[in-house]
Amino acid sequence: MNHEELLSKLTPEEKAALLSGKTVWQTRDIPRLKIPSIFLSDGPHGIRKQAGAGDHLGLNASLKATCFPTAATIANSWDPDLGEEIGKALGEEAAAQDVNIVLGPGLNMKRSPLCGRNFEYFSEDPYLTKELAAPYIQGVQEWDVAACVKHFAANNQETERLWIDVEVDEQALREIYLPAFYDAVKKGGVHTIMGAYNLLKGEHCCQSEYLLNDILRKEWGYDGVVISDWGAVHDTEKAANSQLDIEMSVTDNFDEYFMANPLKEKIENGEISEAVVDEKVVRILMLMMKLHMMDDTRKSGTYNTPEHRRKALEVARESVVLLKNEESILPFPKEKVKKLLIVGENAECVHANGGGSAEIKALYEITPLMGIKTLLGGNAEVK
């Protein structure tokens, strides 16, 4: 059946059900019509799929997967082709784990050194970010997996991240904060977009008429799915009448989400038009069809392949920035090194755990100290 036939067979209750989660990481399915659940996974520099009880911080067990270089690292390469290759590898690993949407890449600008998400974002430069974003997205989506660019928009600080009302003039918004999202839509063809926690012009971004309707839908012509950040919806009527399609959150009272039973009741009471919900349902069904979720032709991938490990290493090497190398002192000829001092706590730290939603359960991670000792063998003293 096409999306119009499916829509005609859905009850109002089932339509509302499609707009929110049944778990922290899955949307609701409609078994009688063979409409599947959408599985979302954090990243974006690796797949962190929680197979059992899900939680938004990744505290419960996750499947292990390849940890790829972060967006910040990829940006240091200045090479869009490398970003696309990482996107392809990430999409393949998502397909292997039956993940439908990868929550990334992050396109927010680096505006404060105190932003704990900076390593997930490409750059402080909007031009570099937009040039890298589109190929990365296309790489992911080659595998019948949707990328989900985030956080739309101007979500650039930790302090009051969930409630700050960002003050930015129109010129700065257009020149700094929106170009990467625009290219993600127009050049990258991104299938999904995640709204932000913060407010812009007095509206929460995930129920913003200005951002989601005026700019995203009308001005940019975006016809994909808009997903809330987890817990970023605050009002049933505003969210339903905005261009938000799916509400996700961090708690397990799924029936009480703003777009769950409260929405169903408002439709039944005539407070919210069923036609508004129909628009959202159509976009969700069309997304499922783009990803071949209902016709058994979805691509199947694999993960932790030798090719993926080589690609991760290649990107890491290409992203190293050496500021000065007087008299070509580097690299050290290992046969001449007898004593080597390694300075700094990061020599022994693993970084795949990243923090928060970017944490990856890496299959393995070699610290700089371990790598250096392995390379030198027992022929040098390493302190």
What residues are annotated to the active site? 229
Amino acid identity, residue 226?
A: V
Do the beta carbons of residue 137 and residue 87 sit within 8 Å?
yes
3-state helix, strand, coil split of the chain in percent (to 5) is 40, 10, 50
Answer whether 217's CB lies under 8 Å from 171's CB.
Answer: no
Phi and psi at 263, nearest 5°, equal: -70, -45
Scored b (16 or more CB within 10 A) or e, 285-302 reads bbbbeebebbeeebeebe
Q: Of 255, 178, 345, nearest to 17 (Cα)? A: 255
Query: Three-state SS for 242?
Result: coil
**Rg of the chain (C-alpha set):** 22
